[in-house]
Amino acid sequence: MTRKEQKEERRQAILMTALSLFVEKGYYDTKITDIAAAVPMSTGLMFHYFESKEELLLELVKMGAEGTRSLSAGVPAKQLEKIPADVFLTGFLTKVFAYAKEEPWVFNMFVLMGQVRRSGMPEEAHKTALAVDSIEFTSALISRGQKDGIFREGDATLLARCFWASVQGIMEEMAMDKSMPAPDPSWIVAMLKV
Amino acid sequence: MTRKEQKEERRQAILMTALSLFVEKGYYDTKITDIAAAVPMSTGLMFHYFESKEELLLELVKMGAEGTRSLSAGVPAKQLEKIPADVFLTGFLTKVFAYAKEEPWVFNMFVLMGQVRRSGMPEEAHKTALAVDSIEFTSALISRGQKDGIFREGDATLLARCFWASVQGIMEEMAMDKSMPAPDPSWIVAMLKV
DNA sequence: AAATTTATTGAATTTAAATTCAATAAACTA
DNA sequence: TAGTTTATTGAATTTAAATTCAATAAATTT
C-alpha cells in the first residue's frame, strides 16, 4: 500500500472516530485530545492530518452532503414512478433504521447533519449542510402521493419538512439511547397518509 | 419596588435573553459578551447576577423542568378521562404551536430542553432535564387510546418517545426558520392513530 | 547505506473566552 | 447629609483548549 493510501486510511479512521464522538458528546464537548485518545494517536499528530478541528467537521459535513445528494439522485425516475409514494418512503426508512445497528456510520452521519443544520456549530459548516435536495425530492414525492389520493392534502413542502424533522428527531433519540428499538417506519409515514 | 425585586427582574431579563440566544445560536456559540450586549449590560455585571455561564444554563433547565412537570401534573385526572386521547393530544399540540408566535419563551424553552437532553451541553444540565414525566404521562394516555381502539397497537412507551421526538424535531425546525408555519397538529397525532 | 521525506510525540505557545477585580456611580439607611 | 450597601463598568487575569514546534523515529528513495 502506497504512502498516500496509508494516509488516506488514517484520515478516514480519524473521521469515523470524530463522527462517533461528535454525535455522542456533541461537537464542542469533544476535545481534540478526546479524538486523539480514541483513535489512538498523539494530539499533535492530529494536525498532521487535519488543519483544525473545524476542518475535520467540515470534511464530515461534506461527506454527509454528498451522501444525502446521492440518496435522492440515486433513484432512477422510472423505477420511482412505479412504486407508490408511501411504499417508497416506508422502504427508505426501513433501510435507514436498519443501518442504525449495522452501519453506525451512516446513522451517525444523519444525526450529525441534523445537528449542524440546526446550528450550535461553526457557521462554515452550515453552508455545506443544506438539505434542500432531500426536501425537494420528498416534496415532489408527496405531491404525487396527493394526486394519487393516498396522502393528505396540504402544502407538500411543509409536509416534507415535517416528515424529515420527525425522522431527525427520532434518530437523535435513538442516537442518544442505543438501546431504543427503531420504530415501525409506517408510524412515521402515517403522518402523510389520508 | 424593593431592591430584591429589581434584582430578580433583571435576572429574569438575562435568563430570557440567554434563552433566545441559546436556541438561536446554540449554547457554545453564545458568548457571555453576546448575552451582555443583548440585555444590555456590561460583561462584568453578568457575574453579579449569575456565578457562571453554566449556572445560567442550569437555571433555565430548572425552569424548563418545572414547566414540563406542571404540564403533566396540571391536568386533572377526571377531566382527562372524558376526553378522547387523540383529541387531548391534538389540543395540546395546538396550544404549543400557538405559543411559537405569541409566547416565544415557552417555545424556546421546549427547544432548549430538547437540546440539553440530547447532549452537547454540560453534564450537570442533563440530570435536571430528564423528561421522564411527560413520557410516562403520554405513554399512559396512549395505552388508553389503544384500549379504546383509536390508537394503533405497539409498545406505548416507544410510541410516546417517537411522538415527542417528532414534536421536538419539528419545533427545532420551526425555531431555526421562524417563517416556517406550524404544521397541523393532527398530522403528528396521525402517527398514533389506527 | 546515506540522504530525504514523512510520521510521531509531548511539551511549549497561542488564543479565545470566561471570570475576577479595582474603581466609580447610584441608591438606600440612619 | 454622612455612611453603607448595591449596581455598574471595562480593563486585567485566568483558564481550558486548540494549535505550533523542536526533536526523534520510521520509512522511502537514490
Cα–Cα distance, A49 to A39 (Å, whole number) = 12
Collect all residues with Cβ–Cβ distance below 8 Å to B55 and sequence separation of at least 6. Answer: none
A170, A176, A194, best to mutate vs chain B, most B CBs in 10 Å: A170
CB nearest to A166's CB, from B155, B158, B169? B169
> Which three cell numbers, joined as nine digits, stand for A144?
404525487
Report the alpha-carbon distance of residue B31 to residue B96 in Å, rounded: 29
**Nearest residue, CA→C1' of C20:** B44
Q: Is the model's pTM score more than 0.85?
A: yes
Q: What is the pLDDT of residues B12-42, one digit of tens each?
A: 999 999 999 999 999 999 999 999 999 999 9
pLDDT of residue A126: 63
pLDDT at B131 over 80: no
Res A73 pLDDT > 80: no
Tens digit of pLDDT for each residue in B172-191?
999 988 899 999 999 999 99
List pLDDT tens digits, range A16-63: 999 999 999 999 999 999 999 999 999 999 999 999 999 999 999 999
**Interval B137-167: pLDDT, tens:** 999 999 999 999 999 999 999 999 999 999 9
- pLDDT of B89 strictly over 70: yes
> A101, exposed or middle or buried, with CB in 10 Å at 0-12, 13-18, 19+?
exposed
Contact B170 A162 (CB under 8 A): yes
Mean per-residue pLDDT of chain A: 91
Chain B contact set for A24 (CB, 8 A) = 119
Please report residues of B whose CB lies closer than 8 A to that of A122.
Answer: 29
Query: What's the pLDDT at A31?
Result: 98
Distance from CA of B127 to the nearest CA of A (A): 14
Is the pLDDT confidence value at B120 over 90?
A: no
Average pLDDT over residues A118-142: 76
Q: Do the beta carbons of residue B122 and residue A28 sit within 8 Å?
A: no
Give, in Å, how far the C1' of C22 lies from the CA of B39. 24
pLDDT at A127: 59
B190 to A193: CB separation less than 8 angstroms, yes or no: yes
Query: What per-residue confidence (pLDDT) applies to B73?
Result: 77
Predicted pLDDT at B45: 98
Asked if B119 lies within 8 A of A25 by C-beta distance, the reply is: yes
Mean pLDDT of chain B, nearest integer: 91
Tell me, what's the pLDDT at A74?
Answer: 75
Q: How many CB pairs under 8 A join A and B?
A: 116
Please name the member of B25, B115, B162 whose beta carbon is closest to the beta carbon of A183: B162
User: Distance from residue A30 (CA) to nucleotide C6 (C1'), in Å?
Assistant: 28
Question: Which of B120, B161, B169 lies closest to A180 in CB terms?
Answer: B161
Work out the minimum CA distance from A27 to partner chain B, whole angstroms: 7
| Å from the B40 CA to the C14 C1' | 31
CB contact (8 A) between residue A165 and residue B172 = yes
pLDDT digits (tens, 9 = 90+) for A144-166: 999 999 999 999 999 999 999 99
pLDDT at position B70 over 90: no
Query: What whole-number distance in Å separates Cα of residue A69 and Cα of residue A77?
Result: 15
Of the two residues A72 and A62, the one the predictor is more confident about is A62
CA–CA separation, B116 and A123 (whole Å): 20
- Asked whether the beta carbons of residue B187 and residue A28 sit closer than 8 angstroms, the reply is no
Does the nearest atom of strand D lie within 7 Å of B11's Cβ? no
The reply to whether A121 Cβ lies less than 7 angstroms from strand D is: no
